[in-house]
Every structure is written in C-alpha cells, then in structure tokens.
Structure 1
Amino acid sequence: MVNFLLSVQQSINLVINSIISVFKVLLMSKFSVERTTASKPRCGILGNGPSLNTSLERDIEFIKSLELFAVNLFSVTEQYTQLKPRNYFILDMSFLNPNHVCKNGLQHMASDTTWEMNLYMPFQMYNSAYFQSFFKDTPNIKLVPYNYTIVTGFTWLKHWFFKRGLGTPQCQNVLVGTLFYAVNMGFKEIYIFGADHSWHEMIRLDDDNNLVVSDKHFFQQKDFDIAVKEKSYMSQQLFSLHKAFYGYEVVGQYAQALGVKIYNASARSFIDVFEKIKVNEFVNKN
C-alpha cells in the first residue's frame, strides 16, 4: 500500500512539474535561439578544478586535438592564450557585477582573444548593457545567448524542450550547462577535464560555529576561504551539492538518448555518472 501511494504521489508530481515547465518556457524562454554546431566530432571541456594542472601536463596533446570549451575565469590564465578555446561558456550572474572578480575575466576575454571564439551566456546576461560594453570592439568574439529555463517533469517533455534549446536542466555548476550545450551542438564524444568537484571536503565549521567553505582552482597556489555570512545550515550546503551532481544525471540521460558518449577524463573527480578514463590508456585501446 505504501509503495502504491508513493507511486501515485510521484505520478502527480510529474504531471504538476510538467505543467509548470510548459508555462515557464512560454513565459520565460526566447523562441528564436541561435544554434551553433560542432566543427569536430569530439570536444573537451576544461573545468577549473586543481586537477586540471595534471591533465594539462599529462594529456596536453590529446587536449589540443579536441574542440575546446573553457568556463568561468579560465580567461585570466596563461593557458587561455596557449590553448585558444573555440568556445567559452558562462552562466554565473556574477559576471554582471562590476565589483566581482568576474569583471577581470571579461576584460581578459575582450583584450586577449586573438582567435575566433563563441561566447555563450544566458539571455539575461546578453541583454545587459554592462556586459555588452566589454565586447563592442571584439570582432573575434561571437556572442551566442541561450535560454536558461529550468524544466522538469516527464522525460519525453524535458528532452523535447532540451533539443530545441527552450529548456535546460538545473545547472548548479557551470560544467552541467556546458555539457548540455555541447550535447546539443552535435558532438559524438565529450571529454571532461579538471572536474574535481571535491567541495564536500572543503566545508567546515570554524570555532564560532560559522560555516566556512574553502575554494581552490587550478590557477591558484593555495586555497582561500569563503565565509557564509548569511544564516546558513549545513543541510543547505549539502543540498546545493546534491543539485550539482544530480544535474549530471539529467545530462547523462539526455546524452545517452541522443547517442552521445561522455567521458570523465579528470585526473581526480567525484562525478560518478560518466565513464572514468585515463587518456593514455583510452587512446591506446581505441
């Protein structure tokens, strides 16, 4: 009886979430979405986790053979002008904050990009005069806005919206959104690097019972701490991590439905949705 009631409740939730998603798309999404296509059958996504340093040393030739995606603040690194990624994906609305470090990332993109590159951002960001001001004199950078409208509900409905760029999975982390966009671009194989996702190891309470989160990227020499100033409980932090990892499950199911293979080639990673590979062994085997 309990299982039956749970099944009924799940079915009702699916119907409700599907109806809500339809209204969200109708009210929030742009229906004239520009689509870009893959120039190669394989791409690589460069996360900013510390393990990317290992991948850039160990797997650099393989990485260079892929059509590359960079994310977030990759543009502030020396590797940006060395690897010249064809694609750059951002999602965080901090890129609209003139007092945030993200401003530095935009400035580097605008000044350092001497090759043709597609820059993907949500429509909300694209429509910002502040954001646009960085790229008014950058002929090498093509701005490609996308809908960030989270849809849930029946799988067939979600995938219908996904394919048309009208809806997306929840992207608690920018790599989820990048993976999703890469799948829609038509790549057959996608390789992820630098996706450590070891945040749970860096959450702690200080002596005054304040929640503190350490953060580190591949281009930083040491960790730095972020004090969560507003009232926050450990459960909320862990729920955020759940949403981040669950996003990979949704993208993984969508990629599988389209016959797209996603490989996690990160030297260190807690993502367990995709096949984990070591590049040298994988290349020799294939």
Structure 2
Amino acid sequence: MKTSIRLAIGRSPFLHAWATRIVNCNNSLFYQWSSSRKDWKDSLQALHNSARRRRCFIIGNGPSLTPSDLELISGEDTFASNQIFRVFPRTSWRPKYYVVQDIYGKIKDEVDSLTKIQVFMGDYYARKIGTSLEEVVVFHGKKPIGNALSFSEDISKYVVDFATVTFTMLQLAVYMGYEEIYLLGMDHSYARTINAQGELTAAEGVKNHFYKDPSSITVTANSEGMERAYGLARLHCQSHGIRVRNVTRGGFLEVFERMSLEEALRD
C-alpha cells in the first residue's frame, strides 16, 4: 500500500476499521474456499503441542544478525521470515520453519525455492502473490479491528496478523508447545515509522535489516503497534509458563527479558 494512502487511513479510525474488515472478509472467503480442497487446517492441528518441553529461536532480520551467530544455533529449532534467505550464501544454517505474510519486496521466486524448509504462509500473501510450493501450509491471518488485539489460542482457526511477522511466529511457536523461546536479530530499529495517529517519522542513517534494503525508504514500520503486540505476547506466555527471552546483540527491543546468546546456549 502506498505510504500516502496508509497515512490517510491511519488518521481515520473509521477508514482503518472499514479497510481492515474488507481485508479480513476477503482473506476469510479465500481461505475457506481454498482449504476445502487442501489439508491446511489438518496440517496446523497436527502441530499442536508437537514441540512440548523444547526450545526454539525466532530469528529477526535486524542489522545485528550475523552468519556466525546463526552458525551457533545450527541444530536448534528455528523460525525465520521474509528475506532471511539473503544470508544463506554466507552460512550453512537454515531455519526449520519459514514464515511469510507480507507482500512487500517481490520475493516470490525466492520463497518458491524453499523446497527443503517447512513454509508457513499467510492467506493474504497466498491470495495476492500465490506460490508453486507443494508442501506449504497456509494459515488464516485475522487483522484486529480498533484496539481489540488478542493472541490466538488456535492457529488452525486463525493467526492474529498485526504489526510484525514476529507476532505471528510467536503464536505459531506457542501453539506448537515450545516452552522456551529466544529472539535473535530483533533490533527493533527502523528508518521510517508510523504511530497510532498516522504520523510519519523518518530517522537518518538507521538500518532496518542486516542486508541493504532499498524498500526501507518506502516501507513504514508500525513500531508502537509492534510493542503492543510484544507486550501482549509476553503476558500470554507468562500466563502459560512459557519463557521468552531476547538474545539480540544490542538493539532497542526491551519488552522481553534480556540474555546473551552464549548464556542461552549454555542453559
């Protein structure tokens, strides 16, 4: 969506709610029709508590992420997303799970090449972009309306799609039963951000990702929304006995307990 349109919608609660309902309705119709011919729901239900008493790492694409740190967690269960494949030429590490739900970046060919990784795909991406992957599992992404933010208890019904794909990965990991979750590469720094009032802020010299990203001058991050989502995820996990810790080297995400990557690997 063009930034000017997004800003206009963001400034009007009525327009934002109206646009969200349209997207949710279209996604729901697509998912119901498509999943009736596929086994997406069954595949998601089969994952429930499949990873109990285990730990996982959720990988962000922040500028602090390095191939050497990824090598340290080879053999661990890992979730990654979006343009993580840009690091592949520099490391033998590969994620166990890959998640895509945003349509930015024109990455269809790269996503379709991930034939040896379990790919989870949001229905919005599947509807707008599509895929040639045979083993992909598509989930229904439900966008919250107004302040009604929640954390999905059953991803076979829907995943709450809000602000950041990391929130989606947290919902997947919790549903699968992981009891310890570590966040790596979550710098929470963005060149352009938009707040709840639809106001745009640009920061000079700030990098979004570990790779050179031309779209950083056009893609706008909802950093306030991200912090809301992270806060809700923290509370949900605490109430279910799940520990989420941030092992990112530096960065600005302070919602979760901090720990060094080396300390996490010694546990």
Per the normalisation by structure 1, the TM-score is 0.64
Residue of structure 1 aligned with 2:244, choices 250, 255, 262: 262
Structure 1 CA distance for aligned equivalents of residues 119 and 165 of structure 2: 14
Where does residue 118 of structure 1 map in the other structure?
A: 118
Q: CA deviation at 1:241?
A: 1.6
Trace 1:1-286 onto structure 2 (pairs within 5 A): 28=28, 33=41, 34-35=43-44, 36-37=47-48, 38-39=50-51, 41-53=54-66, 56-58=67-69, 60-61=71-72, 63-78=73-88, 82-94=92-104, 101-103=105-107, 106-111=108-113, 113=114, 115=116, 117-128=117-128, 130-133=129-132, 135=133, 142-151=135-144, 158=150, 161-163=152-154, 165-199=156-190, 202-203=191-192, 212=202, 214-220=206-212, 226=217, 240-284=222-266, 286=267
- Structure 1: gaps of 5 or more residues: 1-16, 95-100, 137-141, 205-209, 229-236
Distance 1:175 1:143 in 2: 19
CA 1:167–1:45: 2 relative to 1, 3 Å: same
Identity %: 23
Tell me the secondary structure at the aligned position of residue 249 of structure 2. coil
Give SS of 1:68's match.
Answer: strand
Q: Offset of 1:243 from its aligned partner?
A: 0.6
Kept in 2: contact 1:170–1:247 (CA 8 A): no
1:217 maps to a residue whose letter is H
TM-score, structure 2 normalization: 0.68
Larger Rg: 1
Separation (CA, whole Å) in 1 of partners of 2:115 and 2:91: 8
**In 1, distance between residues paired with 2:239 and 2:147?**
14
Write the distance in 1 (CA, Å) between the matches of 2:156 and 2:144: 11
C-alpha RMSD of the superposition: 3.8
Task: Name the stretch that deviates more: 181-190 or 27-36.
Answer: 27-36
